Structure formats: structure tokens, C-alpha cells
Amino acid sequence: MGTIDRHFLWSIFHRIDKDKNGSISGDELQQALANGTWTAFNPETIRLMMAMFDTDGNGVIDFNEFAALWQYVCDWQETFRSFDLDNSGTIDRHELKSGKPV
């Protein structure tokens, strides 16, 4: 993915930071994310995401850590779309064999 619009990203970060303390907790991240079924992410998934992107180990995600998390999610979405040739939202075995990752 190209350069992230930091102003756009800041507006998203600000909406997720419900208590306006300048960081995103695991609970705030879980409330902000939804699966394709609009259900909350599994708590273990949130814990793993927090562990991956909380680079200073303070238990919350600051804006720069959030920017890295955002880029990671966008990259995975792009990779998924490169395999989901029929835009069905799923990847079948034929698409997996013939897909051309970005």
C-alpha cells in the first residue's frame, strides 16, 4: 500500500480512543474492529494484535503503533483481495492455486 494519509488515520485513531487519553486499549480496539459478520474479534486475536503492535510494552497502542497496525491490516486486505479473484469474500482452493499475490 502507498503512503498513509496521517490526517485520515488520526481521525480514525481519535474515534477509537473513546476515553480520549491519547492511546487505544485492548477493549477500545476490540470495540472498533468487526469481522465480516459484524461480530467482535476474538479476545485472543485482540491480545495478539496488542502484543504485536505495543512496541514500547506499556499495554496500550499509541498513534505511531496504531499507524503500524493499520498498515499491517491494509497489507493483509490487499493480499486477500489478490487471491479472491471472484470478489466473493472467500478464497477457494482454485483461487488459492491461481491467485497472484501482490
Tens digits of residue pLDDT in 59-86: 999 999 999 999 998 888 888 888 888 8
Check which CATH number belongs to the domain holding 49 and give it. Answer: 1.10.238.10
Q: Give the domain range for residue 65.
A: 6-97
H or E element in which residue 81 lies:
helix 63-83
Distances (CA, A) of 13 to 1, 34, 90: 19, 16, 28
- Asked whether residue 1 is assigned to any structural domain, the reply reads no
Q: Which residues pair with 61 in a beta bridge?
A: 24
Other Cβ atoms less than 10 A from the Cβ of 86: the count is 10
- Asked whether residue 102 is assigned to any structural domain, the reply reads no
Q: What is the mean pLDDT of residues 31-52?
A: 82
CA 7 distance to own-chain centroid: 17
Domains of the chain: total: 1
